[in-house]
Every structure is written in C-alpha cells, then in structure tokens.
Amino acid sequence: MKKLIPLIVVFFMSVSNLSAQSKAVKEVENTVETMRLAMISGDRNVLNKLASDQLTYGHSSGKIESKTDFVETLATKKSDFKSITLSQQTVDVQCKTAVVRHVLDADTFDGGKPGKVHLGIVLVFAKDGSNWKLLARQAFKLP
C-alpha cells in the first residue's frame, strides 16, 4: 500500500498537467484564429492587443517588421488579405511559451492587384498575464 500511494500521486499530477496543457493549447489555437481574422479585417485594436511590443515579424522575402510595422501594414491594407486558410497546424506549449507551425494559403489584393500566397509559418507566442502575445513570426516559401 505504501508503494501505491506515490504512484497514485504521480498519476494525478500527470493528468492535471495534461489538462493544463490541453487548456493552453486551446487558448493558443483561439489566439491564432483571432489573429487570422484580424489580419483579414485589418482591425488595428485587435492586432495591437495580440502583438507583443517586442514583436519581430519575418516575411518570406527576408523583410523584418516591428509591431508597429505589422499593425500598420494590415490596418492600412497595404497588405490586404481577402481570405486566409490555415492547415497542418501544430501547437507546442512549454510553460509560458508556445510554438505554432502551419501552412498559410491566402488570397490577397496588395496594391490593387489580386494574388495568392502559399507559405509555411512559424509563430512564437509568450504568455502575458492571461493572454498569449505574438512574440515572433517567420514565413518561409514552400514548394
């Protein structure tokens, strides 16, 4: 019986940790979806709330943007997403950091010209109080 008690304690601690992980993954998935919708709408307030002040936002072209650049580019429709579809998404949460990977397919209308985008994306989110904030983003070209 004495050996069984530590095993039971470890089991319940593991189950509790998995439940917390699942909750954090859902929170991050919801944040990614909120960001996807804000990128389409160009909602300045939502974009500002989602992005960390230290954001580094890397484009597949090599261009790097700050939080201000990221928000302004989308809010002013300089980068104009008409639709964004995310697929093959994975979310890995470790303590207060989350790494998200997905494929982004989008219809754009930048500079009055329709276009299509097909990119791989890596996002890094950091927990800030009760919210997840985008800390880093890197896009890369897919075949």
Mind giving me the DSSP string for 54-110? EEEEE-TTS-EE-HHHHHHHHHTTSS-EEEEEEEEEEEEEETTEEEEEEEEEEEEEE
Identity of residue 45:
N
Gyration radius of the chain over CA positions: 18
- Mean pLDDT over residues 130-138, rounded? 98
Please determine, for residue 16, whether its predicted confidence score (pLDDT) is greater than 60: no
Joined together, the tokens standing for residue 5 give 């008690």
Q: Nearest to residue 86, comparing CAs of 131, 51, 38, 118?
A: 118
Residue 108 structure tokens: 């754009």
pLDDT band at 136 (very low <50, low <70, confident <90, very high): very high
According to CATH, the topology of domain 4-141 is: Nuclear Transport Factor 2; Chain: A, (3.10.450)
Q: Tell me the pLDDT band of 2, cut-offs 50, 70 and 90.
A: low
Res 13: pLDDT: 52
Report how far residue 54's alpha carbon sits from residue 73's, in angstroms, rounded to the nearest whole number.
17
Amino acid 11: pLDDT? 55
Q: What value does the mean pLDDT take over residues 77-96?
A: 97
Delimit the domains of the chain by residue range: 4-141
pLDDT classification of 107: cutoffs 50, 70, 90: very high
Q: Is the pLDDT of residue 12 over 60?
A: no
| The pLDDT value given to residue 7 | 52
Question: What average pLDDT is seen over the chain?
Answer: 91
